[in-house]
Structure 1
Amino acid sequence: MKKQAKKVVLALMASALMLATACGSNAGTNSETGTNAGTNSGGGDKPITLRMAWWGSEARHEYTKKVIDLYKTKNPNVTIEVEYANYDDYWKKIAPQAAANELPDIMQIDTGYYAQYAGKGQLADLTPYFGKEIDVTNISENALNGGKLGDGVFGMNLGVNSLGFQYDPATLAKAGIDSIPENWSWDDYLSIAAKAKENGIYIDGGMRAEVFFGYYLRTVGKKLYNDAGNGLGYEDDQLFVDFFGKLADLVKSGAAPTPDTLAQIKGVEDDMTVKGTQVGVWQWSNQFVALQQAVNRPMEIAPMLNPGAKEGLYLKPSMFFSISKNSKAKEEAAKFINFFVNDAEANKLILGERGVPVSSVIKEELKPLLSPEQVQVFDYVAWSEANSSPMDPVDPIGAIEVFASLKSLTEQLNYGQISAEDAAKKFRSEAENVLKKNK
């Protein structure tokens, strides 16, 4: 009997050992599905695989991969699989992943898509990780609340941005213009555009419709969306006509490029500012350094147009890092986000390219290391902070459809296929049909 009992005990011990070995071999990435196979914790030596996705320029891709490599040297049990593309292609890839509930563990997201994904329960609330996996000691409440939606925060603000006109003084001079006035107005802008056109130079590549129409509305005390997010925030369609009519006239006159010309631009390297055939670009401050590096000449940032520039201008989260609600490794994903935001070595690689850092400590750490162009960005954002107004609430669910309508109609307007008055009416109809679903 004793021998028999001993055999049973040994058999049970062997079975337990085999079970433990089998469980250990399944940790981390499932080789068949490529998905995380079951741990929510990044502690110890247990293998963990994260998927991470972002959009951006080639320069952003390269330094982001270096940051990931740095994280992996400090966390050798973690593997991070990367997915990246330019802006438009990125969202084309993300959409089917969202439909299949297979979003990356960590995904870069902007304000336009934020409510669409967070509002539909596809992103994890980061609040439980604040003060734990994500150190928020040196981050202001305002910066954290940039990702607030309802009762949760579904995206970590990676940096703050400000709008401006980024231009090449050499091309401006070639266009026959000495300088841009300090507090320039729409009249100044249109006059400079006409002068540049006489000398065979475009003024710019246009203003991104959903971003700059929102700015223009703020300058006259209105908003693109109402407070409830179920309708437009302005009633007078003449505001649409005034703004987009001016821009369409620039295209019609040849002072700004046609949509066909713009469609040939696939990246910053193709930008006409880089080629010296365009004075500058209206865009976010975090895009300045990449543009300047491509131009490879001294550049400047001019403020937004008056009247109402201070009311129109705002500091915006450049973008967020969010965690998929379906991630099996949320804590490790949160730890990586913390590393990206708070680690000094990592930020010496990032150097504010995704926006001026939200950590006050990191901001001070970087100052001695910044190039003149990066100093320009930090200084412009600091100036904007003192010359701007609070940001509007996060774009509501349906904003992407609204933006698609706006983009399509303004392209038709720039092609001369529709009048500004008809475009304004059609935009209101299409936007209201989308937004009324939020009631």
Structure 2
Amino acid sequence: MFSKKRSLAAVALATGAALALAGCAGGGADPEATYDPDEKVTLDLAFWGNDVRAGLYNEAIAAFNEEYPNIKVNATFLGFPEFWEKRQTEAAGGGLPDVMQFDYSYLRQYSENNLLLDLDPYLGGIIDTEPLSDQILQIGVVGDTTYGIATSTNAWGLFTNPVLLETAGVDEFAGGTWDEYADWMTEVTEASGGKFWGGGDFTGRIQNFELQLRSEGSYLFSEDGEPGFDEERLTEFWESGAELRDGVVVPQQRVEEVLPKGAFDSALAASELTWDNFGAGYLAGLGEGYTELGLLAPPITKEGAKDLYLKPSMLHAISAKTEHPEAAATLVNFLVNSPESGAIFGTNRGLPASETALEGAELDPLSEQVRAHEAAIADRLGDAPPVPIVGYGTLEEKFRVLGTELNFGTKTVDEAVSEFFNEMDIVLNG
């Protein structure tokens, strides 16, 4: 999927002029604008997902029509790669759907090509902002303009496997620094008798590097695409995992053997740092005998730092060329904020970002755990970083690949750093 997503992004970059022409914005919105309930309009709604999600959207549209009977909604869905392939074609031809489920990684590309509607005139009016925190609202901002509204959020967390910890006779990680986390993993690995490991190599994930940079008052990439680190800082990060790669974390060869599953949901690792919405997939992968997971705050680089942030599982955006911006904004407001939407979708789109939608949702125990986790880390939540630069996905994948090679021992840290900076130069300046 990665290579296809990247190739689609490349096509969009190559046809940037066509996208810009296709995306000339529609008429400006009136800040006092409201939808006229007597106006009969038809909106196209597009989302990615499967038959289960399609059924939920159908329910949501039916509930929406009880309140807005004159807005007909034609909904279509595709798998994730096919969804974006179709959007690229539509963008080049000038025909994006009125309302779209939107992925964070594409928000900058589409907004900078004038393909998405400026939502600021509708905020606090048609789109209710009271149930949405400032941190949530900032997620959809590119430059100084709001182009998307998050439907749901997730945050970085530390999952643990209570069954493996009981087997090893080791207590849950008590929290603390990255060094303390490394010591805890070492204890688990040694206590397991070679059956499993304390965790994976956290230096292979760019998000863990980002957390440390944010703790230091820096960032991965600025709004203008400038990196917030140099070769020396990346070298320090990757070298911090050298001792762990010498027998403490899951060996890369064992990781490769269980693909497409991961080490954590194959019960090879007692912990995993990742986004907190991965829990349901982990439990499904672990299978019988696993009914719960631990979910903790990630290790700390600097006390009091705002190193964590909320990331959208997905957003809703509106085409700049929609003929019915007020009706489209009304639909977005319903899908994001209404208790009915919350009750229908539950956590299918992630933990609802809107307080009113969240109140309507019936949360399963794991979802309640995620909700409690995000509340527990509230004092570490800072502003989300700028919307990902075009090409971020390529760099994230390169970082991961180099991390696996470090774990295999096929590259030195110096070689990996040099290769990453060469790739970064091509992506940022090519």
Which residue of 117, 120, 136 maps to 2:113? 120
What per-residue deviation string (whole Å, max 9, x for no partner) do you get for residues 225-280 of structure 1?
Answer: 1x452321112x23323434555775674615546346423xxxxx5544544434
Where does residue 286 of structure 1 map in the other structure?
Answer: 277
| Aligned 1:103-252 pairs, distance under 5 A | 103-183=96-176, 185-192=180-187, 194-195=189-190, 198-204=193-199, 209-225=205-221, 227-235=222-230, 237-245=231-239
Q: What CA distance in whole angstroms lies between the structure 2 residues aligned with 1:45 and 1:339? A: 18
Q: What CA distance in whole angstroms lies between the structure 2 residues aligned with 1:407 and 1:92? A: 25
CA, structure 1 residues 200+113, in 2 after alignment: closer, same or farther (shift >3 Å)? farther
Q: What CA distance in whole angstroms lies between the structure 2 residues aligned with 1:413 and 1:286? A: 27
Whichever of the two has the greater Rg, that structure is: 1
Q: What CA distance in whole angstroms lies between the structure 1 residues aligned with 2:53 and 2:396? A: 25
Where does residue 432 of structure 1 map in the other structure?
Answer: 425
Where does residue 373 of structure 1 map in the other structure?
Answer: 366
Superposed CA RMSD in Å reads 3.6
CA, structure 1 residues 433+275, in 2 after alignment: closer, same or farther (shift >3 Å)? closer
CA, structure 1 residues 326+217, in 2 after alignment: closer, same or farther (shift >3 Å)? same
Amino acid in structure 2 at the alignment position of 1:79: V
CA, structure 1 residues 150+198, in 2 after alignment: closer, same or farther (shift >3 Å)? same
What per-residue deviation string (whole Å, max 9, x for no partner) do you get for residues 141-193 of structure 1?
Answer: 34222212223101102233321012221133234433222335342354146
Consecutive unaligned residues in structure 2, runs of 5 or more: 1-25, 30-34
Q: What CA distance in whole angstroms lies between the structure 1 residues aligned with 2:174 and 2:127? A: 44
Where does residue 44 of structure 2 map in the other structure?
Answer: 50
CA, structure 1 residues 176+149, in 2 after alignment: closer, same or farther (shift >3 Å)? same
Q: What CA distance in whole angstroms lies between the structure 1 residues aligned with 2:54 and 2:263? A: 22
Q: Secondary structure at the match of 1:158?
A: strand
- Kept after mapping to 2: 8 A contact 1:161/1:317: yes
Where does residue 420 of structure 1 map in the other structure?
Answer: 413
- Kept after mapping to 1: 8 A contact 2:234/2:417: yes
Which residue of 283, 299, 302 maps to 1:305? 299
Q: Secondary structure at the match of 2:377?
A: helix
- Match status 1:82 vs 2:73: no
- Kept after mapping to 2: 8 A contact 1:231/1:436: no
CA, structure 1 residues 262+52, in 2 after alignment: closer, same or farther (shift >3 Å)? farther
- Kept after mapping to 2: 8 A contact 1:230/1:432: no
Amino acid in structure 2 at the alignment position of 1:406: F
CA, structure 1 residues 255+197, in 2 after alignment: closer, same or farther (shift >3 Å)? farther
Q: Secondary structure at the match of 1:164?
A: strand
Q: What CA distance in whole angstroms lies between the structure 2 residues aligned with 1:188 and 1:58? A: 45
CA, structure 1 residues 215+307, in 2 after alignment: closer, same or farther (shift >3 Å)? closer
- % same residue: 24
Q: What CA distance in whole angstroms lies between the structure 2 residues aligned with 1:276 and 1:105? A: 44
- Kept after mapping to 2: 8 A contact 1:52/1:106: yes
Q: What CA distance in whole angstroms lies between the structure 1 residues aligned with 2:303 and 2:252? A: 25
Q: Secondary structure at the match of 2:260?
A: coil
CA, structure 1 residues 399+297, in 2 after alignment: closer, same or farther (shift >3 Å)? same
CA, structure 1 residues 330+378, in 2 after alignment: closer, same or farther (shift >3 Å)? same
Offset at residue 424 of structure 1 (A): 1.2
Where does residue 67 of structure 1 map in the other structure?
Answer: 60
What per-residue deviation string (whole Å, max 9, x for no partner) do you get for residues 296-321 of structure 1?
Answer: 50222021013336522223344321
Q: What CA distance in whole angstroms lies between the structure 2 residues aligned with 1:99 and 1:394? A: 22
What per-residue deviation string (whole Å, max 9, x for no partner) do you get for residues 55-107 of structure 1?
Answer: 5x887666455434543565565233232435x66556655554454444333
Where does residue 12 of structure 1 map in the other structure?
Answer: none
- Kept after mapping to 1: 8 A contact 2:44/2:75: yes
Q: Secondary structure at the match of 1:305?
A: coil
Deviates more, 1:317-326 or 1:95-104: 95-104
Offset at residue 423 of structure 1 (A): 1.6
Q: What CA distance in whole angstroms lies between the structure 1 residues aligned with 2:38 and 2:278? A: 38
CA, structure 1 residues 293+345, in 2 after alignment: closer, same or farther (shift >3 Å)? farther
Q: Secondary structure at the match of 2:273?
A: strand
Q: What CA distance in whole angstroms lies between the structure 1 residues aligned with 2:258 and 2:95? A: 33
- Kept after mapping to 2: 8 A contact 1:124/1:324: yes
Amino acid in structure 2 at the alignment position of 1:435: L
Q: What CA distance in whole angstroms lies between the structure 2 residues aligned with 1:287 and 1:328? A: 38
| Aligned 1:392-407 pairs, distance under 5 A | 392-407=385-400
Where does residue 341 of structure 2 map in the other structure?
Answer: 346
Q: What CA distance in whole angstroms lies between the structure 1 residues aligned with 2:51 and 2:416? A: 36
- Kept after mapping to 2: 8 A contact 1:51/1:80: yes
Offset at residue 327 of structure 1 (A): 3.7
Q: What CA distance in whole angstroms lies between the structure 2 residues aligned with 1:110 and 1:189? A: 36
TM-score normalized by structure 2? 0.75
Q: What CA distance in whole angstroms lies between the structure 1 residues aligned with 2:366 and 2:150? A: 22
Q: What CA distance in whole angstroms lies between the structure 2 residues aligned with 1:380 and 1:112? A: 24
Where does residue 317 of structure 2 map in the other structure?
Answer: 322
